[in-house]
């Protein structure tokens, strides 16, 4: 029964990683860049929903929606100001810019909100008792898993069925050909950042509901782990991000429970290294040849 | 005048790939641009589609300057291109590729257009649910052409549609180009296969190392000694 409890907590932690990983993987798939500032957008989402709920007294749902709106605008702005001018620049320049944006967001948060951790009140509270009280699952966990599934299904339908979703896939494969179809590549990339950032806000609220301390660096570690999850599953692949996120959460949770809390992060990354040695493109990734 | 290009100069970094090229395409014509590999033909087409820019010069499509128009807007005006190497979306199905061809039609019902393309290319209908990357070379060329036709272009530009195809398929592709032309589409065709291209063209331009060196009707050029020597092995 204990194992089941660890598994459940791993799956819900993994669901958060998966939601964040979707942002990394979609942006990578289309803009072919690693948006290292993505983790910090989570933190911004956390702060906005915190202020909305604690200072303005708004209900949790409205607070999260507000955070999503702010993060969407933030994501689009970051892309337009920091990344778009570098569209044809070497990849390293874009990577360094992303790291710069990450520090900019962290330091801005430090300036505005201070370094003291805020106590975040979970979006839902209480726990569900199962098996006559032997297994307790918090409502936050259930909500997280539910959100992750809804988002996953929603994105799969969006990219598979809708005109703009298909345009995203077209852009991710061949931007030149996409332009010849009349697709506005810049607008498609903006849309990708908008979706990824809105998801980051959801992830921020869920993450802070799990571990209720909110600081300017709150997004860093989950951001890096979710990036790992995206690579693990196969970067650029939406089901890969989902699978990678869940697996990472479960491995982390089980490693904490049965091996060592201190070493759990090392174990997570060790598993990543082994997987990438065997499958360099990740679990669901495809090898793609660079076109000349 | 449907398309008018004047004094195009296009560079890849320090390399001057297209040097003062001017030409025109009138409504209802098939015009071909022939020349050896590296003559600047594809670069010229990319410039017309807005994927590359000319330093100076003019490009007018239906009497409207498009020299600095965004590529996706150029497609909306009715200038479509079937790019070199087909560039179909290999991870999408045949049908999804056609949907992308109709992207500019917003939410209009594109089923009728698809049926029209399927009539032209029955093989595509058989394979509509198949992932495009698994099609044969000839089928991929058909798909690239069908995809471009989905936007109902006024002028269709084709870049080396015969490249890498078996001779029988090359003939099929040229038959289809003639049919499209008869159905009212104006065509600008870039080809290395000068013989085939000249046989269907109303007018032709010969490009060499970034410049247009000869021009005339398809028949004139096919009969010209220079073209015979350089491109037709005569």
Best A182, A239, A286 residue to mutate vs chain B (most B CBs within 10 Å): A182
Spatial CA neighbour of A167 closest among B131, B75, B51, B89? B89
Assess if residue A288 is contained within a domain.
no
**pLDDT at A279 exceeding the cut of 70:** yes
- Per-residue b or e along B107-139, where b marks 16 or more CB atoms closer than 10 Å to that residue's CB: eeebeebbeebbebbeebbebeeeebeebeebb
**pLDDT at A21 exceeding the cut of 50:** yes
Q: pLDDT tens across A251-277, in order?
A: 999 999 999 888 888 998 898 889 889
Assess if residue A285 is contained within a domain.
no
Q: Which of A101-105, B129-133, B166-170 has the weakest average pLDDT?
A: B166-170
Packed helices A139-161 and A185-210: angle between N→C axes, nearest 10 degrees: 170
Return the pLDDT at A292.
Answer: 38
Q: Least CB-CB distance to B89: which of A173, A179, A185?
A: A173
User: What is the ipTM, given to two decimal places?
Assistant: 0.93
Work out how many domains chain B is built from and give that number: 1
**pLDDT at A289 exceeding the cut of 60:** no
How much is the mean pLDDT over chain A?
A: 91
How much is the mean pLDDT over chain B?
A: 93
Opening angle at CA B118, ends B115 and B120, nearest 5: 115
CATH code of residue B14: 3.40.50.300
Residues of A in contact with B133 (CB under 8 A): none
Helix (H) or strand (E) holding B186, with range, is: strand B186-191
Residues of B in contact with A169 (CB under 8 A): 89, 91-92, 96
Assess if residue A283 is contained within a domain.
no
**pLDDT at A125 exceeding the cut of 90:** no
Assess if residue A11 is contained within a domain.
yes
**pLDDT at A7 exceeding the cut of 50:** yes
Q: Least CB-CB distance to B76: which of A166, A169, A182?
A: A182
The mean per-residue pLDDT over the stretch A82-95 comes to: 92
The residue range of the domain holding B75 is 3-231
Q: Which of A121-135, A198-212, B6-20, B103-117 has the weakest average pLDDT?
A: A121-135
For the record, the structure tokens of A126 come out as: 């209480």
Return the pLDDT at B180.
Answer: 92
**pLDDT at B164 exceeding the cut of 60:** yes
The mean per-residue pLDDT over the stretch B114-125 comes to: 93
Q: Least CB-CB distance to B75: which of A163, A173, A182?
A: A182
Q: Which of A72-81, A134-143, B209-218 has the weakest average pLDDT?
A: A134-143
B83·A173 Cβ contact <8 A: no
Across the strands, what pairs with B208?
Answer: B211
Opening angle at CA A148, ends A143 and A149, nearest 5: 100
Is A276 exposed, middle or buried (CB count within 10 Å of its CB: 0-12, 13-18, 19+)?
middle
Assess if residue A59 is contained within a domain.
yes
Portion of chain B with pLDDT greater than 90, in percent: 82
**pLDDT at A291 exceeding the cut of 60:** no
**Residue A220 touches partner B, C-beta closer than 8 Å:** no
Q: Decide the pairing of beta strands A135-138 and A127-130.
A: antiparallel
The residue range of the domain holding A114 is 2-128+137-278
Return the pLDDT at B233.
Answer: 67
Assess if residue A190 is contained within a domain.
yes
Assess if residue A210 is contained within a domain.
yes
Q: How confident is the model at residue B4 (pLDDT cuts 50, 70, 90)?
A: very high
A169·B81 Cβ contact <8 A: no
Q: pLDDT tens across A189-244, in order?
A: 999 999 999 999 999 999 999 888 899 999 999 999 999 999 989 888 899 999 99
Q: Between B160 and A121, where is the model more confident?
A: B160
CA distances from A193 to A95, A189, B104, B105 (A): 16, 6, 22, 25
Q: How confident is the model at residue B39 (pLDDT cuts 50, 70, 90)?
A: very high
The mean per-residue pLDDT over the stretch B80-103 comes to: 95
CA distance B50 to B195: 29
**pLDDT at A287 exceeding the cut of 70:** no
Return the pLDDT at A236.
Answer: 87
The mean per-residue pLDDT over the stretch A21-45 comes to: 94
Work out how many domains chain A is built from and give that number: 1
Q: Least CB-CB distance to A180: which of B83, B92, B107?
A: B83
Helix (H) or strand (E) holding A168, with range, is: helix A163-173
CA distance B49 to chain A (A): 7
CATH code of residue A105: 1.10.3470
Q: Least CB-CB distance to B103: which of A167, A173, A174?
A: A167
Task: Give the B-side interface with A, CB within 8 Å.
Answer: 49-51, 70-72, 75-76, 80-81, 83, 87-92, 96, 99-101, 103-104, 106-107, 147-148, 151
B51·A176 Cβ contact <8 A: yes
Residues of B in contact with A181 (CB under 8 A): 72, 75, 100-101, 103-104, 147, 151
A184·B70 Cβ contact <8 A: yes
**Residue A182 touches partner B, C-beta closer than 8 Å:** yes
Q: Decide the pairing of beta strands A118-119 and A213-214.
A: antiparallel
Residues of B in contact with A183 (CB under 8 A): 72, 100, 103
Return the pLDDT at A201.
Answer: 96
B92·A177 Cβ contact <8 A: no
CA distance B95 to B111: 10
Q: pLDDT tens across B197-234, in order?
A: 999 999 999 999 999 999 999 999 888 888 888 777 65
Residues of A in contact with B53 (CB under 8 A): none
Best A88, A166, A181, A285 residue to mutate vs chain B (most B CBs within 10 Å): A181
Q: Closest residue of A to B52, CA-based?
A: A176
């Amino acid at each position: 029964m204990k194992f089941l409890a660890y598994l459940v907590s791993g799956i819900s932690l993994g669901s958060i990683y998966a939601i964040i990983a979707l942002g990394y993987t979609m942006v990578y798939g289309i803009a072919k860049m690693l948006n290292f500032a993505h983790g910090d957008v989570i933190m911004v989402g956390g702060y906005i929903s915190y202020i909305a709920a604690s200072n303005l007294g708004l209900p949790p749902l409205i607070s999260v929606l507000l955070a999503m709106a702010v993060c969407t605008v933030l994501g689009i702005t970051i892309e337009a100001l920091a990344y778009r001018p570098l569209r044809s620049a070497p990849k390293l320049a874009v990577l360094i810019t992303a790291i710069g944006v990450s520090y900019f967001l962290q330091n801005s948060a430090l300036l505005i909100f201070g370094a003291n951790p805020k106590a975040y009140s979970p979006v839902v509270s209480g726990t569900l008792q199962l098996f006559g009280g032997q297994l307790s699952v918090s409502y936050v966990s259930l909500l997280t898993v539910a959100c992750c599934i809804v988002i996953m299904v929603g994105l799969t339908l969006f990219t598979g069925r809708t005109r703009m979703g298909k345009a995203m896939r077209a852009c991710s494969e061949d931007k030149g050909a996409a332009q010849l179809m009349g697709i506005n590549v810049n607008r498609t990339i903006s849309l990708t950042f908008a979706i990824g950032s809105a998801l980051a806000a959801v992830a921020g609220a869920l993450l802070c509901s799990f571990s209720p301390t909110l600081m300017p660096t709150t997004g860093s570690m989950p951001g890096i782990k979710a990036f790992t999850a995206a690579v693990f599953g196969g970067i650029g692949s939406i089901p890969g991000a989902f699978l990678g996120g869940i697996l990472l959460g479960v491995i982390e949770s089980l490693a904490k429970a049965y091996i060592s809390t201190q070493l759990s992060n090392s174990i997570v990354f060790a598993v990543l290294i082994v997987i990438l040695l065997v499958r360099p493109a990740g679990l669901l990734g495809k090898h793609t040849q660079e076109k000349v | 005048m449907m398309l008018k290009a004047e004094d195009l100069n296009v560079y890849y970094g320090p390399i001057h790939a297209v040097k003062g090229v001017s030409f025109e395409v009138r409504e209802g014509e098939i015009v071909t641009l022939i020349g050896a590999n590296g003559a600047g033909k594809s670069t010229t087409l990319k410039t017309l589609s807005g994927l590359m820019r000319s330093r100076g010069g003019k490009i007018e499509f239906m009497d409207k300057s498009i020299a600095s128009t965004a590529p996706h807007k150029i497609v909306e005006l009715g200038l479509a291109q079937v790019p070199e190497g087909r560039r179909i979306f290999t991870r999408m199905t045949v049908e999804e590729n056609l949907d992308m061809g109709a992207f500019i039609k917003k939410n209009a019902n594109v089923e009728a257009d698809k049926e029209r393309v399927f009539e032209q290319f029955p093989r595509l209908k058989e394979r509509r649910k198949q992932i495009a990357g698994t099609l044969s070379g000839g089928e991929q060329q058909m798909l690239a052409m069908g995809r471009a036709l989905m936007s109902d272009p006024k002028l269709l530009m084709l870049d080396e549609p015969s490249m890498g195809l078996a001779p029988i398929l090359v003939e099929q592709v040229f038959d289809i180009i003639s049919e499209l032309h008869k159905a009212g589409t104006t065509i600008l065709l870039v080809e290395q296969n000068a013989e085939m291209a000249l046989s269907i063209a109303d007018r032709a331009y010969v490009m060499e190392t970034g410049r247009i060196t000869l021009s005339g009707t398809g028949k004139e050029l096919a009969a010209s000694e220079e073209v015979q020597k350089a491109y037709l092995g005569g």
